[in-house]
Amino acid sequence: MTAPARIHPAKTQPAIYQKLAAFSTEVGQVGRDAGIDPRMSELIQMRASQINGCAYCIRVHTKRALAVGETVERLMMLPAWRESGLYSPRERAALALAEAVTLIHDGNLPDDVYDEATSVFTPSEYTAVLWIAVAINAFNRVAVAGRYPVEPEDDGATQG
Protein backbone atom coordinates (compact mmCIF):
# COMPACT_ATOMS: atom_id res chain seq x y z
CA MET A 1 0.00 0.00 0.00
CA THR A 2 1.37 3.39 -0.97
CA ALA A 3 1.34 6.18 1.61
CA PRO A 4 -0.51 9.33 0.61
CA ALA A 5 1.63 11.98 -1.06
CA ARG A 6 2.91 14.90 0.98
CA ILE A 7 4.35 18.25 0.11
CA HIS A 8 7.70 17.55 -1.54
CA PRO A 9 10.31 19.76 0.22
CA ALA A 10 12.83 19.64 -2.65
CA LYS A 11 10.23 20.69 -5.20
CA THR A 12 8.60 23.30 -2.98
CA GLN A 13 11.86 24.98 -1.89
CA PRO A 14 14.39 23.92 -4.53
CA ALA A 15 17.00 26.52 -3.55
CA ILE A 16 17.24 25.09 -0.03
CA TYR A 17 17.42 21.54 -1.35
CA GLN A 18 20.17 22.57 -3.78
CA LYS A 19 22.15 23.97 -0.84
CA LEU A 20 21.66 20.69 1.04
CA ALA A 21 22.83 18.80 -2.05
CA ALA A 22 25.86 21.11 -2.33
CA PHE A 23 26.59 20.51 1.37
CA SER A 24 26.43 16.76 0.74
CA THR A 25 28.78 17.08 -2.24
CA GLU A 26 31.24 19.02 -0.07
CA VAL A 27 30.98 16.37 2.66
CA GLY A 28 31.71 13.68 0.07
CA GLN A 29 34.80 15.59 -1.03
CA VAL A 30 35.94 15.94 2.59
CA GLY A 31 35.58 12.17 2.93
CA ARG A 32 37.56 11.49 -0.23
CA ASP A 33 40.25 13.99 0.78
CA ALA A 34 40.53 12.30 4.19
CA GLY A 35 40.90 8.89 2.50
CA ILE A 36 37.57 7.45 3.63
CA ASP A 37 36.90 4.33 1.59
CA PRO A 38 33.81 4.90 -0.60
CA ARG A 39 32.41 1.55 0.56
CA MET A 40 32.65 2.66 4.18
CA SER A 41 30.98 5.94 3.32
CA GLU A 42 28.08 4.04 1.77
CA LEU A 43 27.84 1.70 4.78
CA ILE A 44 27.58 4.73 7.07
CA GLN A 45 24.82 6.20 4.93
CA MET A 46 22.98 2.89 4.62
CA ARG A 47 23.05 2.26 8.37
CA ALA A 48 21.74 5.72 9.28
CA SER A 49 19.04 5.37 6.62
CA GLN A 50 18.03 1.97 8.02
CA ILE A 51 17.71 3.39 11.53
CA ASN A 52 15.70 6.34 10.25
CA GLY A 53 13.47 4.12 8.12
CA CYS A 54 14.30 6.06 4.96
CA ALA A 55 13.44 3.70 2.12
CA TYR A 56 14.34 6.32 -0.48
CA CYS A 57 17.90 6.75 0.84
CA ILE A 58 18.31 3.02 1.42
CA ARG A 59 17.59 2.46 -2.27
CA VAL A 60 19.97 5.22 -3.37
CA HIS A 61 22.83 4.04 -1.16
CA THR A 62 22.32 0.36 -1.90
CA LYS A 63 22.87 1.12 -5.59
CA ARG A 64 25.85 3.34 -4.83
CA ALA A 65 27.39 0.76 -2.49
CA LEU A 66 27.13 -1.97 -5.09
CA ALA A 67 28.59 0.38 -7.72
CA VAL A 68 31.71 0.97 -5.59
CA GLY A 69 32.25 -2.74 -4.98
CA GLU A 70 30.36 -3.45 -1.77
CA THR A 71 29.02 -6.99 -1.51
CA VAL A 72 25.41 -8.04 -1.18
CA GLU A 73 26.30 -10.16 1.86
CA ARG A 74 27.76 -7.19 3.76
CA LEU A 75 24.78 -5.01 2.86
CA MET A 76 22.37 -7.69 4.05
CA MET A 77 24.30 -8.12 7.32
CA LEU A 78 24.51 -4.41 8.06
CA PRO A 79 21.65 -4.31 10.61
CA ALA A 80 23.55 -7.00 12.56
CA TRP A 81 27.04 -5.57 12.07
CA ARG A 82 27.91 -5.95 15.77
CA GLU A 83 27.23 -9.70 15.66
CA SER A 84 29.01 -10.23 12.36
CA GLY A 85 32.69 -10.68 11.62
CA LEU A 86 32.36 -9.07 8.20
CA TYR A 87 33.44 -5.53 9.10
CA SER A 88 36.90 -4.17 9.87
CA PRO A 89 37.69 -2.32 13.11
CA ARG A 90 37.55 1.00 11.20
CA GLU A 91 34.16 0.13 9.70
CA ARG A 92 32.86 -0.95 13.10
CA ALA A 93 34.01 2.34 14.65
CA ALA A 94 32.41 4.29 11.78
CA LEU A 95 29.13 2.38 12.11
CA ALA A 96 29.03 2.90 15.88
CA LEU A 97 29.68 6.62 15.37
CA ALA A 98 27.00 6.84 12.67
CA GLU A 99 24.50 5.10 14.93
CA ALA A 100 25.34 7.39 17.85
CA VAL A 101 24.90 10.49 15.68
CA THR A 102 21.64 9.15 14.26
CA LEU A 103 20.33 8.35 17.74
CA ILE A 104 21.91 11.37 19.43
CA HIS A 105 18.68 12.03 21.34
CA ASP A 106 19.23 8.74 23.22
CA GLY A 107 22.19 9.97 25.23
CA ASN A 108 24.52 12.17 23.23
CA LEU A 109 27.69 10.73 21.73
CA PRO A 110 28.92 8.16 24.27
CA ASP A 111 32.55 8.42 25.35
CA ASP A 112 33.28 4.82 24.41
CA VAL A 113 32.07 5.40 20.84
CA TYR A 114 34.11 8.60 20.58
CA ASP A 115 37.19 6.94 22.10
CA GLU A 116 37.00 3.97 19.72
CA ALA A 117 36.53 6.21 16.69
CA THR A 118 39.40 8.50 17.60
CA SER A 119 41.64 5.48 18.25
CA VAL A 120 41.28 4.22 14.67
CA PHE A 121 40.75 7.49 12.76
CA THR A 122 42.93 10.55 12.37
CA PRO A 123 41.20 13.82 13.27
CA SER A 124 40.44 14.51 9.59
CA GLU A 125 39.06 10.98 9.09
CA TYR A 126 36.96 11.25 12.26
CA THR A 127 35.43 14.56 11.22
CA ALA A 128 34.79 13.25 7.70
CA VAL A 129 32.91 10.23 9.11
CA LEU A 130 30.99 12.53 11.45
CA TRP A 131 30.01 14.87 8.61
CA ILE A 132 28.91 11.92 6.45
CA ALA A 133 26.60 10.82 9.26
CA VAL A 134 25.27 14.35 9.77
CA ALA A 135 24.61 14.83 6.05
CA ILE A 136 22.72 11.57 5.54
CA ASN A 137 20.62 12.24 8.62
CA ALA A 138 19.57 15.57 7.10
CA PHE A 139 18.58 13.87 3.84
CA ASN A 140 16.76 11.10 5.73
CA ARG A 141 14.65 13.64 7.55
CA VAL A 142 13.71 15.47 4.36
CA ALA A 143 12.83 12.25 2.52
CA VAL A 144 10.93 10.63 5.40
CA ALA A 145 8.99 13.80 6.28
CA GLY A 146 8.14 14.25 2.59
CA ARG A 147 7.34 10.55 2.17
CA TYR A 148 9.49 10.33 -0.93
CA PRO A 149 8.05 7.46 -2.94
CA VAL A 150 9.81 4.14 -3.36
CA GLU A 151 7.89 2.09 -5.85
CA PRO A 152 9.02 -1.17 -7.43
CA GLU A 153 11.46 -0.70 -10.26
CA ASP A 154 10.95 -2.63 -13.43
CA ASP A 155 14.29 -4.43 -13.40
CA GLY A 156 13.00 -7.83 -14.41
CA ALA A 157 13.49 -9.18 -10.88
CA THR A 158 10.30 -7.75 -9.39
CA GLN A 159 7.51 -10.24 -8.90
CA GLY A 160 3.91 -9.13 -8.61
Which CATH number characterizes residue 41's domain?
1.20.1290.10
Q: Is 13 contained in some domain?
A: no
Q: Is 10 contained in some domain?
A: no
Contact, 79 vs 50, CB < 8 A? yes
The pLDDT value recorded for residue 4 is 67
Q: Is 135 contained in some domain?
A: yes
Query: 31-85: per-residue pLDDT in tens?
Result: 999 999 999 999 999 999 999 999 999 999 999 999 999 999 999 999 999 999 9
Query: 36-45: per-residue pLDDT in tens?
Result: 999 999 999 9
The pLDDT value recorded for residue 160 is 47
Residues 111-134 as b/e (b if ≥16 CB within 10 A, e otherwise) read eebbebbeeebeeebbebbbbbbb
Q: Is 7 contained in some domain?
A: no
Q: Is 65 contained in some domain?
A: yes
Number of domains in the chain: 1
DSSP class per residue in 59-117: HHHHHHHHHTT--HHHHHHGGGGGG-S-S-HHHHHHHHHHHHHHTGGGTSS-HHHHHHH
Cα–Cα distance between 56 and 51 in angstroms, integer?
A: 13
The pLDDT value recorded for residue 68 is 98
Q: Is 20 contained in some domain?
A: no
Q: Is 54 contained in some domain?
A: yes
For residue 5, give the DSSP letter: P
Residue-number span of the structural domain to which 41 is assigned? 32-145
Taking the model in full, what pTM does it have? Answer: 0.90
94: left (phi over 0), alpha (psi -120 to 50) or beta: alpha
Q: Please provide the distance, in angstroms rounded to a whole number, between the alpha carbons at the two ends of the chain.
A: 13
Q: Please provide the average confidence, as pLDDT, over all residues in the chain.
A: 93
How many other C-beta atoms are found inside a 10 Å radius of the C-beta of residue 146? 17
> Looking at this protein, which amino acid is placed at residue 52?
N
Q: Is 158 contained in some domain?
A: no
